[in-house]
Structure 1
Amino acid sequence: MDNKELQLIVEKISLKSFQKPFLHKAFFNNRLKTTGGRYSLTDHHIEINPKHFEHFGYDELEKIIKHELCHYHLHLEGRGYMHKDREFRELLKKVGGSRHCQTLPGARRTSNVLHVYECTACRLTYKRKRRFDTSKYVCGKCKGKLVKAKSFS
């Protein structure tokens, strides 16, 4: 499937499910890694992760498109278009879009913890992404001395 076919599918789904036209661009974006699609608030374009279509097929693609079209139509109407808004959740449920897309195989991220510090007094451990100078900080629980316990690469 190419961008022209995707554009036609998005326009068709918009008319069928929302009874409103989609007047902007829809295209595949290979750089999307952690999401199935993205709606741009500034230019109103919809970007779709092609890997979701390749792995899960047309049904998943349709649900992602409906999700992004909910953002699109609600935003243009000046209504609640964010995930937390009731209007968004209700419209998504009504049209049958997915709240969350499926996880791609091999896309699971490993833990971001690289440094582990331990209090010498109470043995409380602190997991951090960044290193810090243990001479400048103390344990938040008992004010004990912190030492580096582990380091991951």
Structure 2
Amino acid sequence: MDQQELQGLVEKISDDFFEKPFLHKASFNSRLRSTGGRYLLGTHNIEINKKYLEQLGEEELIGIIKHELCHYHLHLEGRGYQHKDQEFKILLKKVGAPRFCNQLPEKKSKRTVRKILVYQCTNCQLTYQRRRSINTSRYVCGKCRGKLLKVKEMEL
């Protein structure tokens, strides 16, 4: 799907579910990372994360578009368009839009992989386990002030 097809889809969904025209620009934004889409208050444009279409399919994309159109139409009408507003929640239910989009599969796998770094003192042999790396030229052993060496890196 390219930008023109997305624009046509957004206009069609706006006409079918909201019975109002979408008069602004809809586009894919590859820089979006933690959200499926966003409605821009200043320009009234809608940006969509293309990864949701690629990984979760067109049905998920349609849900994201409906959600952003709820923000769009309520904002233009001067009504409550924020997630916390009752009017927004009612319109979401009316058009069958999700309140939040599903998480991308690639995000889930990255969060579950944890690494543990193991450092050891050269004097007293005390070991330290850390999730973040330590600058061994700056930090020393807390027990004897000996030099620290990175021993191993484990994944959980």
**TM-score normalized by structure 2?**
0.71
Residue matched to 2:89: 89
In 2, the alpha carbon distance for the partners of 1:77 and 1:62 equals: 22
- Who is 1:78 aligned against? 78
Aligned to 1:152: 131
| Greater helix fraction, Structure 1 or Structure 2 | 2
Find the residue that maps to 2:51 and give its secondary structure.
helix
CA distance in 1, matches of 2:130, 2:55: 36
Answer whether contact 1:34 1:107 (CA < 8 A) is retained: no
- Output the CA distance in 2 between the equivalents of 1:150 and 1:58: 44
* CA apart distance, 1:106: 2.2
Moved over 4 A (4+): none
Could you tell me which runs of 5 or more consecutive residues in structure 1 were left unpaired when the two chains were aligned: 112-148
Amino acid paired to 1:64: I
3-state secondary structure, aligned to 2:81: coil
- In structure 1, what is the equivalent of residue 27 of structure 2? 27
Matches within 5 A, 1:125-140: none
CA drift at 1:58: 1.0
- Structure ID, larger Rg: 2
Contact 1:6 1:26 in 2 (8 A): yes
Give the root-mean-square deviation of aligned CA atoms.
Answer: 1.5
What TM-score do you get using the length of structure 1 for normalisation? 0.72
Contact 1:66–1:95 (Cα < 8 Å) also in 2: yes
Structure 1 counterpart of 2:49: 49
**Counterpart-to-counterpart distance in 2, 1:7 and 1:55:** 20
The corresponding residue for 1:106 is: 106
1:110 CA drift (Å): 4.3
- Percent identical residues: 61
| In structure 2, distance between residues paired with 1:23 and 1:101 | 24
Q: Letter of the aligned partner of 1:43 in structure 2?
A: T
Comparing 19-28 with 98-107, greater Cα deviation is found at: 98-107
Q: Distance in 1 between matches of 2:89 and 2:39?
A: 16
Contact 1:52/1:104 (8 A) holds in 2: yes
CA distance in 2, matches of 1:57, 1:110: 22
Q: Which amino acid aligns with 1:69?
A: L
